[in-house]
Amino acid sequence: MSVRSLRTSAAFLVTATLTALSVPVPAGAVPTEEGRGAAGKEVVLSTGFPGTALPPGFRAVEGNWEVRDGRLHGSSAHSGVLSRITFGARLKNFRMEVTARFESVTDPSRWAALGMDVPADGSVPWSLATVRSGTTAANGLEFARRTAGNTWDVTDTGPAPSAVGTGRDVRLAVEVHGSRARWSVDGREALRTSRVARSADGVEALVVNGATVSFDDLRITALPDRGHLRPPGAPLTVIAHRGASSAAPENTLVADEVGRRGGAEYIENDVQPSKDGVPYVLHDSTVDRTTDGSGAVRELTSAQLDALDAGSWFGPAFAGNRVPTLAAQLGDLRERGGDMLLEIKGRHSRDEVATIVRIIREQRMTDRVFVQSFEPDALRYTRELAPELPLGLLRGTLDADPVAVARELGLTSYNPSDAALGARPGAVAELRDAGVAVMVWTVDSPDRWAALEEAGVDAVITNRPAELVGWNAASGQHRPTAPAVTVTSPAPGARLDRAQAPVAAVQSSGAASTRLTLDGRPVEAGEPLDLTALGAGGHTLRATVTGPGGTATAESAFTLRASRTGLAHLILTSGATDHHVATLTTMLGHGHYRQLARWAEHGRGLPAPRAALIAKEARALAGG
């Protein structure tokens, strides 16, 4: 018998025996369902679609969905069929990524989508990030909502950075933080939105329209809150002052909508109570300037305020717009998208602040409201009543020690006027070093935007949000992109054995160079990892990327465990004589691990380093 045939026979014996014992024979690295990545990011779902059954927790709602050839295939016969499959859990902040391939399409306008917030039963409404096979079209990428009335509301569109077409694998990723999201194709960010409609219980999904699309390597990672400090290389956060008040009547729902449509991440509005205690959105202490009425807000009842025209003063096209209640404005933001920077205007009693907090909670908006005020007492009441709400102190002049004030009030941000900050720009670094964001008001000049960006401020409150969004985009073309990297293989938390040879793989953007190390030793990206040379237990693959925008790192921790298939692999690749391979595999097939270990320890026909490893693996399987 030849060496090759003897080894084949030995391998067959081991495989057959293990199969009879219901032990799976792995082929490559199989991602785990759960694990924990670097920087507290939790991988809550990771699958490469092995076998032929849908993974546990996947629910095919409409269309044809099947697993074959290591991929999930979804088909939609024509544009009227919205094939969808749901999975995952309700997550506030997460990254969803998948490798997708359009296998066929009815026409280039057909699409696939990553569902960011979809009821588990697939019913409307949905929030989707869509990609067309004709991705370089002006609407090649979209953020869209399927409304409760079963109509489309496309909130944002843009072209992809490269063509997808058919028959080509692309890595799609959407990163969601509350109502904000970023859409990336092959590691390059292409579209942002601040208008993702979120629900209390929506999960993740894949959707296919007028196409057949296959998916592989799906991963969902729960992310921590972004915080409010601007990361290096990121654009200024855009806050629409009283809505888009340069283009629509301030503090109205139409101004909010224009601000949203212009790309603002926050809508800044003012709140104060009516005579009968209902909080209304209005800046001045009287209604004289911005309505067709007159009198102090606090001296008018809610019925009187509801009857006022708050749009005609700005222009005939806005006639009939009303002064919104806080509840109405929060409900609009919840349904239409966007977060609120809410200024408690003027002095408020504790009971008045309690009413504001109650309405925020009733509208289920506590995770999307940021409270600011010139009045420290209003912030103290808010902190006492709703410690979950972030707080910002408005200032017309800087305090002698802004950091001390921020600590005393428990501030998330310190919000000075542009003029005040201009007198002492060094305060920005002091505050940010203390973990306190800086949001500057009210700035409409591109020259000042540039100066504030250079000074390191985090956000700008402006009457011209769309212009600032455009300025950010234009500046970003000349600003080095902060690099990003994710280790895609081995999957974080993977449990591997020595029969596997996972390829060391990363996904990166903005990187000029990549360095990979396994437990501190350099390895090559794209090369299989030799697990026969590693000790049992935990190991870490670390990726470091460097580019013009800086450096980024990511890690994937995995566990190497003893298994029968792993031990079989060690024996078959040991270089031992054919006779010894047959003897050892016979012991393995019968589960005689201690006898196998003793044989290896005596080094009979085995190279010394491999003999020690085989003995150790066998004793681990024998229980020590």
Q: Which contiguous run of DSSP H or E holds residue 455?
A: helix 446-455
Q: Which of 107, 29, 104 has the alpha carbon at shortest distance from 70?
A: 29
Query: How many Cα atoms sit within 13 Å of 566 on the Cβ side?
Result: 26
Active-site annotation holder among 73, 283, 539, 569: 283
Cβ-based neighbours of 600, under 8 Å, separated by 6 or more: 584, 606, 611, 612, 614, 615, 618
Report the 3 state secondary structure along 102-166: EEEECCCCCEEEEEEEECCCCCCCEEEEEEECCCCCCCCEEEEEECCCCCEEEEEEECCCCCCCC
What does the alpha-carbon distance between residue 436 and residue 415 come to, in Å, rounded to a whole number? 10
Give the span between the Cα atoms of 515 and 99, in whole angstroms: 23
Specify whether 228 is catalytic: no
Shortest CA distance to 269 belongs to which of 618, 257, 277?
Answer: 257
**Cα 190 to the center of its chain, rounded Å:** 15
> Which of these, 267, 253, 258, 250, lies nearest to 313 by C-alpha position?
250
283 is catalytic: yes
Return the residue matching tokens 């460097």: 546
Q: What single-letter amino acid sits at 411?
A: L
Instruction: Please give the Cα distance from 273 to 182 (Å, whole number).
Output: 37
Look at the block and give the residue holding tokens 């095919």: 60
Q: How far is CA 225 from CA 8, 40, 94, 313, 483, in A?
A: 53, 11, 9, 40, 20
Annotated catalytic residue: which of 177, 241, 539, 569? 241
CA angle 545, 546, 550 (to 5 degrees): 120
CA distance 194 to 241: 16
Asked whether 118 and 204 are in contact (CB, 8 A), the reply is yes
Written as one string, the DSSP assignment of 237-259 is EEEEETTTTTTS-TTSHHHHHHH
* Assigned token pair, 198: 């979120």
**Helix, coil or strand: residue 547:** strand
Catalytic residues: 241, 283
